[in-house]
Structure 1
Amino acid sequence: MNARAPLTAVLSRVDAAIIDLDGTLVDTLGDFAAALGGMLRDLGLPPIGAQHIEQMVGKGSEHLLRSVLNHVLALDGKAQAAIKTEALYPAAWASYQRHYLAVNGQYAAVYAGAHEGLQALRGAGLRLACLTNKPTGFAVPLLRAKGLDGYFDHVFGGDAFARKKPDPLPLVKTCEALGTQPARTLMVGDSSNDAQAARAAGCPVVLVTYGYNHGQPVRAVDADGFVDSLAQLGA
């Protein structure tokens, strides 16, 4: 956000913050590329470029795997790709889980300003939760490996609740865990998924400008503000 006053106003009205992980705190595209590359090799399928993966990240592992399989199988036509994707999905899921756990965090980097932003929010007395569509079993060790786990009172992955973002349920449940009202709980994310979930849950939302927004310009998303670095949350 370029105008400091509106951001200050948003922060003055909240008691807690919910922070997304992939594309917001940590650049995990390298991990996704490595794990998906291993999965595709196991299945005897052609590779996929990171530029395509980036547009598929954000709606959970199940959606990511189906999107990748559909992409690499599309040479046979969309109808055939959909049929083959479902046939291959169980083996793809098992392979992906194995490869991702093996590389989790190795090709990922914490975004500049992430530590400073989290420190500022904690210093302001806000309770924090990390809410991601990444499986909890991937999210917790990643946060620990990157030294980010200590900032959060709670960590919830995409398998923690019955539905994932952009459904509002995960935000509503996370607010309950934090003991705060949605209207006084800031959502900080990188995509339309986060913004849609926040709007539906009744949370204010600020988006970072550098993450994964399905290949779409993030500033076109309905949000209460934008920041080029999480460090701006303490400015």
Structure 2
Amino acid sequence: MNTLGAASSGVRSVRAVLFDLDGTLLDTAADISVALNRALAEQGLPELAPAVVRVLIGGGVPALIGRTLARLGAGAAAVDAEALLDRFTFHYGCINRHEEMQTRAYPGVAEGLAQLHALGLKLAVVTNKPRQATIELLTRLGLARPIRAVVGGDSVAHRKPHAEGLLRACEELRVGPREALMVGDSLTDVLAARAAGLSVICVPYGYNEGADPRSLPCDAFVESVADLPPLLIASGIVALA
């Protein structure tokens, strides 16, 4: 089993775990693709294949829109990025409030969150997605109960990879950075954790802007969130409740 050494990571004991959302807890790519293509169609622009959109995900909606326009090149030069962002947000909100939603939790997420909660750990989500949209998704998928804090991209002045969101979550949970760790799927998450002084664990199945998540310079990997509780126990940085 992978272990997370207390001495090497700077963690003495873990009291809180912070999670990224898209690509870590939830597979949102299908709904993001549908919403983006609806917004593009309204602008008279060609649709992008879901596999292409998946590579563009990361860093929040403004980054997604910027990468989309860059991908489309000269044909999208006259498009108002803010208008496209607004229409994407509208369509994505409609999808998330109706039965057509395809977003699902990754295997092991519900079990892992429940096990971490049972160990007495405080849990938070730190995402570049808007806070209210995040809460609605977690609630609809039955994952909200063990989550004590949600910090969205609109909750702070600086989004990940800046440290502000992670430090805000630690403050809301009343733990220090050395008492928390971050779980994510991208370089954005790793950089944010390093900047905030947190250890970081990565999952191998996320987006990471198309790059292999296993190449990330994190402290450890888990195949699923369900593997996180035994990793922490085996590493000796969290005690059995």
Structure 2 length-normalised TM: 0.88
2:92 to 83, 100, 107: 100
Separation (CA, whole Å) in 2 of partners of 1:205 and 1:90: 33
Please state if 1:165 is matched with 2:157. no
2:111 to 95, 112, 116: 116
Residue 185 of structure 1: CA displacement? 0.4
1:185 to 161, 177, 180: 180
Please state if 1:44 is matched with 2:36. no
Gap runs ≥5 in structure 2: 231-241
1:69-128, Cα deviation, whole Å (9 max, x unpaired): 2212x145xxxx5x534xx12321221121001112701111000011111111111111
Residue 207 of structure 1: CA displacement? 0.5
Return the letter of the residue paired with 1:145.
R
Preserved CA contact (<8 Å) 1:168 1:201: yes
Separation (CA, whole Å) in 2 of partners of 1:233 and 1:210: 15
Separation (CA, whole Å) in 2 of partners of 1:232 and 1:97: 33
Preserved CA contact (<8 Å) 1:116 1:234: no
Q: Name whichever of 16-25 and 132-141 sits farther off.
A: 132-141
Preserved CA contact (<8 Å) 2:152 2:165: no
Please state if 1:20 is matched with 2:23. no
Residue 7 of structure 1: CA displacement? 4.0
1:16-35, Cα deviation, whole Å (9 max, x unpaired): 01111110111000110110
Residue 213 of structure 1: CA displacement? 0.8
Please state if 1:205 is matched with 2:200. yes
SS in structure 1 at match of 2:39: helix
Return the letter of the residue paired with 1:54.
R
1:116-165, Cα deviation, whole Å (9 max, x unpaired): 11111111111111111111132111111110111111111111100011
Q: CA RMSD in A?
A: 1.7
Separation (CA, whole Å) in 1 of partners of 2:89 and 2:139: 19
2:123 to 116, 119, 128: 128
Gap runs ≥5 in structure 1: none
Residue in 1 that maps onto 2:136:
141
* Higher share in helix: 1
SS in structure 1 at match of 2:202: strand
Preserved CA contact (<8 Å) 2:28 2:102: yes
Residue in 2 that maps onto 1:218:
213
Q: Name whichever of 11-20 and 117-126 sits farther off.
A: 11-20
Residue in 2 that maps onto 1:90:
82
Preserved CA contact (<8 Å) 1:132 1:158: yes
Preserved CA contact (<8 Å) 1:61 1:135: no
Identity %: 38
Separation (CA, whole Å) in 2 of partners of 1:102 and 1:64: 18
Separation (CA, whole Å) in 2 of partners of 1:49 and 1:214: 15
Residue 223 of structure 1: CA displacement? 0.7
Residue 49 of structure 1: CA displacement? 1.4
Q: Name whichever of 197-206 and 132-141 sits farther off.
A: 132-141
Separation (CA, whole Å) in 2 of partners of 1:8 and 1:113: 23
